[in-house]
Amino acid sequence: MKEKYMIRHRLMQLLYVAVDMLSAAVVWLLFLYFRWLALDGRIAGWGDFMGPAFDFSVNDSHHPLLVFPLGCAVLYYLSGYYMRPGKQRWTSLIASTLTVSALVTLVTFFVVVMDDVSGPEDVMRYYKSLLVLFVLQSGVLLTFRLVLHGCFRGRMQRERVLIRTEEYGSDYEIYRRIAELFPTGKEIALTSRVYDILTGAAQIRHIQEPPVVVVSEPKMSDSELVMKRLFDVTASLLALVLLSPLLLLLALGVRLSSPGPVIYRQERVGLHGRPFRILKFRTMVEDAESGVPQLSQESDPRVTPIGRWMRKYRLDELPQFINILRGEMSIVGPRPERQYFIDKITERAPYYCLLYKVRPGLTSWGPVKVGYTDTMDKMIQRLNYDIAYTENMSLWLDVKILFSTVGVIIDGKGQ
């Protein structure tokens, strides 16, 4: 089920990219055709506005015809349009398309078309050409997107699940149902209570339905999620390159400290409840758990001397930059846990599954405030901080958490 959802999601993203690039090629060809008609005098009054300062040959336009769609796709990606293909509402789809069309028009004129302005006549030419390109860009792109969105609208609606809370006997049953649905990739919504409506948590998704609370979507906008992912990739690459001497020294220290592998791989549960293998420098003796998951204690005899030092400064977590590059984790996000302990936590805090809406992280508010969790009470305390993070997440909050994390590392409070 999980693999099927991922494949379907990727195919949808590729389809949306292909349609957008096709629309961009159509826009460029129509713009060239319009300019040819104007310069040839077939559109009265426009020839002067498309004069020498804007003249480029149709025969020399094959390079822009290749570059323009690629450039558009990059800007569309940065706008967040491909994050959740097919799930946008009509109003947000139209608004985002008009906004990105204006951006594409401006970038095109400043990078490709615009020459030095030598007088008022040139300014008027720019304005009129700018208007033509914007009308073509927004009109064609919006048409293509609306047609594509209409084709998949019914399917996307079938992939939404509305949980009517009044039909369940307890909060535990509701969250168990949510946890079951997360791996399917469906949009999960709950019928709202009066409190949800008064606090603004409830949303009107469809006129035919009551206000609902969507629990499967992150609070960040799609464009913010893109910026967050770009930061994750860029920062992780830089960290792996700049810290490579330290990584080699730590790997050597782990190898010499005790028998066993340098990198410890352990299955954790991440985005949408999907398991993945987290990477860490090994800090314990080999076969420390003997098959039974155990929480690490403050003076745990299983921890090696170098492992205790790495934990103090959180250096054992550095290999997780590879998990971030793979897309399994983010730099800032709830710490991922093993299924064994998730089951234990869920017995007391059934809302754990609400963390599945975002990628787990290298650091978050929970680990900063609580640190290593050696008791179930601390694990639940950390969970509550992480839930609060997911409900208030923003790029600025990520920055503040990163600064707090640096302070924890410098003070050696990692354990």
Angle in degrees, CA 246, 227, 143, rounded to 5: 150
Indicate whether 110 and 185 sit together in one domain. no
Higher-pLDDT residue of 321 and 295 is 321
pLDDT value, residue 58: 44
Task: Say which residues have a Cβ less than 8 Å from residue 272's Cβ, sequence separation at least 6.
Answer: 2, 5, 182, 183, 185, 356
The backbone region for 185, taken as left when phi is positive above 0, alpha when psi lies in -120 to 50, beta otherwise, is left
Whether the pLDDT of residue 374 is over 80: the answer is: no
Identify the weakest region by mean pLDDT among 19-23, 366-370, 411-415: 411-415
pLDDT value, residue 302: 85
Indicate whether 259 and 139 sit together in one domain. no
CA end-to-end span of the chain: 38
Q: Model confidence over 108-166: pLDDT tens digits?
A: 877 765 554 555 555 666 777 788 889 999 999 999 999 988 887 766 666 778 888 77
Q: Where are the beta strands (DSSP E) in 215-341?
A: 263-269, 275-281, 330-332
Indicate whether 198 and 151 sit together in one domain. no
Q: Model confidence over 203-248: pLDDT tens digits?
A: 655 555 667 778 888 888 888 999 999 999 999 999 999 999 999 9
Whether the pLDDT of residue 391 is over 90: the answer is: no
Tokens linked to 30: 């129509």
Indicate whether 196 and 330 sit together in one domain. no
CA distances from 62 to 58, 65, 69, 74 (A): 8, 5, 12, 19
Whether the pLDDT of residue 355 is over 60: the answer is: yes
pLDDT value, residue 244: 94
> Considering 168, 190, 214, which residue would you say is the last residue of a domain?
214
Indicate whether 320 and 358 sit together in one domain. yes
Indicate whether 128 and 64 sit together in one domain. yes
Which residues form the domain of 203? Answer: 160-214
Task: Say which residues have a Cβ less than 8 Å from residue 269's Cβ, sequence separation at least 6.
Answer: 275, 336, 337, 338, 339, 342, 356
- Of 367, 384, 361, the C-alpha closest to 270 is 361
**Residue 358 DSSP label:** S
pLDDT value, residue 139: 94
Q: Model confidence over 144-153: pLDDT tens digits?
A: 999 988 887 7
Given the structure tokens 């992912």, which residue do they identify? 229
> Considering 214, 248, 281, which residue would you say is the last residue of a domain?
214
Indicate whether 289 and 180 sit together in one domain. no
Domains in the chain: how many in total? 3
> Considering 214, 232, 254, which residue would you say is the last residue of a domain?
214
The backbone region for 221, taken as left when phi is positive above 0, alpha when psi lies in -120 to 50, beta otherwise, is beta
Whether the pLDDT of residue 408 is over 90: the answer is: no
Tokens linked to 150: 């209409």
Higher-pLDDT residue of 266 and 171 is 266
Whether the pLDDT of residue 198 is over 50: the answer is: no
Whether the pLDDT of residue 369 is over 80: the answer is: yes
Confidence of residue 342 (pLDDT cuts 50, 70, 90): very high
Task: Say which residues have a Cβ less than 8 Å from residue 276's Cβ, sequence separation at least 6.
Answer: 267, 268, 270, 323, 326, 328, 329, 336
Indicate whether 168 and 143 sit together in one domain. no
Residue 76, number of CB atoms within 10 A of its CB? 25
pLDDT value, residue 59: 47
Indicate whether 228 and 323 sit together in one domain. yes
One-letter amino acid identity for 370?
A: V
Indicate whether 94 and 147 sit together in one domain. yes
pLDDT value, residue 360: 94
User: Is the residue at 415 inside a domain?
Assistant: no
- Read off the pTM: 0.81
Distance CA 275, CA 341 (A): 14
* Length of the chain as a residue count: 415
Indicate whether 177 and 127 sit together in one domain. no
Q: Model confidence over 58-88: pLDDT tens digits?
A: 445 556 677 888 889 998 988 888 888 877 7
